């Protein structure tokens, strides 16, 4: 593999040289060191680096943030910012450009390396099909929407899943499965000049954003055409293989105002197409209305759900690698809707946030989880820890810090048994409020964890200001860890770095023995995931505790 090329834009030459030395020692190639935004853009045009390290405060006409914007829009080169301790205003501007990461100066070599690895990982194209990946598509779509304020027309957002690909994998082998996926990727990419971007999301899932169309009927034609293209025979070693697809479509602006919503709704429609047996397309809304209730009535249901005791806390075991024993649980809320059945938190937490209901719901989860954990401890089931998720919107609630300590007092749970999980992006969104709460909690002896690590802006430098107790590696890195060398390298780097900073490392979403073996071998501390158990209702979790179950690694 060729070393990755990095351009350094930094006007303090000592720092720049120092950084260049570190990068070279880490196996990167430094294309050049430049001192201004203008030079940076020239150099990027000539040398096309894989990544740019960009000082936020540059002298000259073009400052670092403007130069970074240009890097992305003109050259699609990911940028990692370099900042000295930054004020809130600068941070806000930096975050608004959705950076691929940033590094606080003076930098540490380990931080530098991991942040760059994460940034390159987020930016990569899918190596099997050479298509962009989902996060690239999402960003691209956001950019398209930002530029579409006066759009006349509809933007079709399509998600597509190949039906029964697992059968091809199991009958013809994975190589053939991959061959089929690549052929389809190629066909999609060449099928229609109205395509704006095609990306591969997961194994056999693609997403396509089209140029604006005039009528919904145009989107119908597009979908029919895709079904035909996919259905054409694929020649594999002189035998013909046939696949079909399930297609979901959402239309901007009807079915959503931002990239996340449009993609989510296209997904919902795609599931609907799958449920209809595959080889068909479905639009969001019109056809899914029967499935998901309309938002209004769902909202009024959610409003009453707390009163009606429709929420339930489930517990997902956390297992310590050293002992193979359950050391704690993550509390995960479930909504048992009287008609719809179990609704996933992925669906109703964002809604609760939007509606301002997350504060009472969050408090209820916290209270329930603390009370329950204390009860288990009192039964002699061990010095159990409980982890509770805290969402960004809960910080808008002024007294969140006090509420946490009140709940501990009320329930009698010792603070050291409580762990609060915050996501990376949350920390950056409202730095000041989080920083204050963080200090109060740490002083009380509550443990604070950074959740879904690696999915947000990789801001390892923040661990200086926010000395987290626990880092939770996101499940997307754990997936295929034994086959995906990049995921493996990143996971190892995160573990080592976290240990240097005295943090406990938890891996989430561990599903099989290979993943577990890898994490054991690389010194991860705690594991969560379906390999051990899904999140369980309290009675089942209690039974598991009582069984004294212990895993042998």
Per CB under 6 A, 265 contacts ligand C2E: no
Per CB under 6 A, 145 contacts ligand C2E: no
Question: Would you call 419 helix, strand, or coil by DSSP?
Answer: strand
Query: What is the closest distance, in whole angstroms, from the C-beta atom of residue 373 to Mg ion in the complex?
Result: 16
Three-class secondary structure assignment of 77-129: CCEEEEECCCCHHHHHHHHHCCCCEEEECCCCHHHHHHHHHHHHHHHCECCCC
Query: What is the closest distance, in whole angstroms, from the C-beta atom of residue 49 to Mg ion in the complex?
Result: 32
Residue 338: which residues within 8 A CB-CB, separation 6 or more?
310
Q: Of these, 83, 509, 516, 526, which contacts ligand C2E (CB under 6 A)?
A: 509
The residue (of 248 and 454) whose beta carbon lies closer to Mg ion is: 454
CB 68 within 8 A of CB 101: no
- Considering only the stretches 87-95, 371-379, 509-517, 519-527, report the one whose residues sit in contact with ligand C2E under the rule CB under 6 A: 509-517
CB 472 within 8 A of CB 500: no
Q: Of these, 421, 424, 431, 525, which contacts Mg ion (CB under 5 A)?
A: 421
What is the helix (H) or strand (E) element at residue 36, kind and residue range?
Answer: none
Query: What is the closest distance, in whole angstroms, from the C-beta atom of residue 510 to ligand C2E in the complex?
Result: 6
Whole-angstrom distance, CA of residue 265 vs CA of residue 267: 5
Binding positions for ligand C2E, 319-358, rule CB under 6 A: 332-333, 344-346, 349
What is the helix (H) or strand (E) element at residue 536, kind and residue range?
Answer: none
Find which of ligand C2E, Mg ion, none residue 530 binds, CB within 5 to 8 Å per kind.
Answer: ligand C2E
CB 133 within 8 A of CB 198: no
Q: Of these, 365, 370, 404, 498, which contacts ligand C2E (CB under 6 A)?
A: 365
Per CB under 5 A, 389 contacts Mg ion: yes
What DSSP string describes 17-32? Answer: HHHHHHHHHTT-EEEE
Chain centroid to Cα 72, Å, comes to: 21
Residue 186 CB-density burial (10 A; 0-12 exposed, 13-18 middle, 19+ buried): middle
Q: Of these, 108, 363, 419, 452, which contacts Mg ion (CB under 5 A)?
A: 452
Q: Of these, 78, 99, 156, 362, which contacts ligand C2E (CB under 6 A)?
A: 362
Query: What is the closest distance, in whole angstroms, from the C-beta atom of residue 519 to Mg ion in the complex?
Result: 15
Size of the site for ligand C2E (CB under 6 A): 24
Binding residues for ligand C2E, rule: CB under 6 A, are: 316, 332-333, 344-346, 349, 362, 365, 389-391, 421, 451-452, 475, 508-511, 528-530, 535
Binding site for Mg ion (CB under 5 A): 389, 421, 451-452, 508
């Amino acid at each position: 593999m060729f070393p990755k090329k990095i351009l350094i834009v930094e006007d303090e030459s000592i720092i720049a040289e120092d950084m260049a030395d570190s990068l070279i020692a880490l196996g990167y190639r430094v294309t050049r060191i430049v001192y201004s935004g203008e030079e940076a853009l020239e150099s990027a045009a000539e040398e096309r680096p894989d990544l740019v390290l960009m000082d936020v405060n540059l002298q000259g006409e073009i400052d670092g943030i403007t130069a970074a914007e240009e890097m992305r829009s003109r050259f699609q080169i990911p940028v990692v910012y370099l900042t000295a301790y930054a004020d809130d205003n600068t941070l806000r501007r930096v975050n608004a450009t959705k950076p691929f990461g940033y590094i606080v100066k003076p930098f540490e070599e380990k931080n530098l390396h991991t942040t760059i690895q994460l940034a390159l990982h987020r930016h990569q194209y899918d190596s099997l099909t050479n298509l962009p990946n989902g996060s690239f598509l999402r960003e691209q779509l956001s950019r398209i929407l930002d530029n579409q304020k006066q759009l006349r027309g509809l933007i079709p957002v399509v998600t597509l899943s190949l039906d029964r690909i697992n059968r091809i994998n199991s009958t013809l082998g994975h190589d053939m499965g991959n061959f089929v996926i690549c052929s389809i990727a190629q066909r999609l990419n060449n099928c229609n000049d109205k395509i704006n971007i095609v990306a591969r999301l997961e194994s056999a899932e693609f997403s396509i954003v089209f140029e604006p169309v005039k009528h919904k009927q145009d989107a119908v034609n597009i979908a029919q055409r895709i079904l035909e293209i996919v259905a054409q025979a694929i020649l594999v070693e002189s035998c013909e293989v046939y696949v079909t697809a399930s297609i979901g479509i959402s239309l901007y602006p009807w079915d959503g105002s931002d990239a996340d919503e449009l993609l989510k709704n296209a997904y919902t429609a795609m599931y609907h197409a799958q449920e209809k047996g595959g080889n068909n397309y479905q639009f969001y809304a019109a056809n899914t209305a029967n499935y998901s209730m309309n938002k209004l009535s769902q909202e009024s249901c959610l409003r009453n759900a707390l009163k009606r005791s429709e929420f339930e806390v489930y517990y997902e075991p956390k297992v310590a690698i050293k002992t193979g024993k359950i050391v704690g649980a993550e509390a995960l809320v479930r909504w048992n809707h009287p008609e719809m059945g179990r609704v996933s938190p992925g669906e109703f937490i964002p809604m609760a946030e939007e509606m301002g209901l997350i504060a009472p719901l969050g408090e209820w989860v916290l209270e329930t989880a603390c009370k329950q954990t204390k009860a288990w401890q009192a039964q002699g089931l061990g010095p159990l820890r409980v982890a509770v998720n805290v969402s960004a919107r809960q910080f808008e609630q002024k007294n969140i810090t006090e509420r946490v300590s009140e709940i501990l007092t009320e329930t009698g749970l010792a603070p050291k048994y409580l762990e609060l999980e915050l996501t990376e992006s949350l920390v950056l969104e409202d730095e000041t409020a989080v920083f204050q709460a963080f200090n109060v909690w740490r002083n009380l002896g509550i443990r604070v964890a950074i959740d879904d690590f690696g999915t947000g802006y990789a801001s390892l430098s923040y661990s200086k200001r926010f000395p987290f107790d626990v880092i939770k590696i996101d499940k997307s890195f754990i997936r295929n860890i034994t086959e995906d060398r990049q995921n493996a390298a990143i996971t190892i780097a995160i573990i080592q770095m976290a240990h240097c900073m005295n943090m406990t490392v938890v891996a989430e979403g561990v599903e099989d023995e290979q993943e577990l073996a890898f994490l054991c071998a690389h010194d991860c501390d705690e594991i969560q995931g379906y390999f051990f158990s899904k999140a369980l209702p309290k009675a089942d979790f209690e039974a598991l505790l009582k069984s004294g179950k212990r895993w042998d690694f």
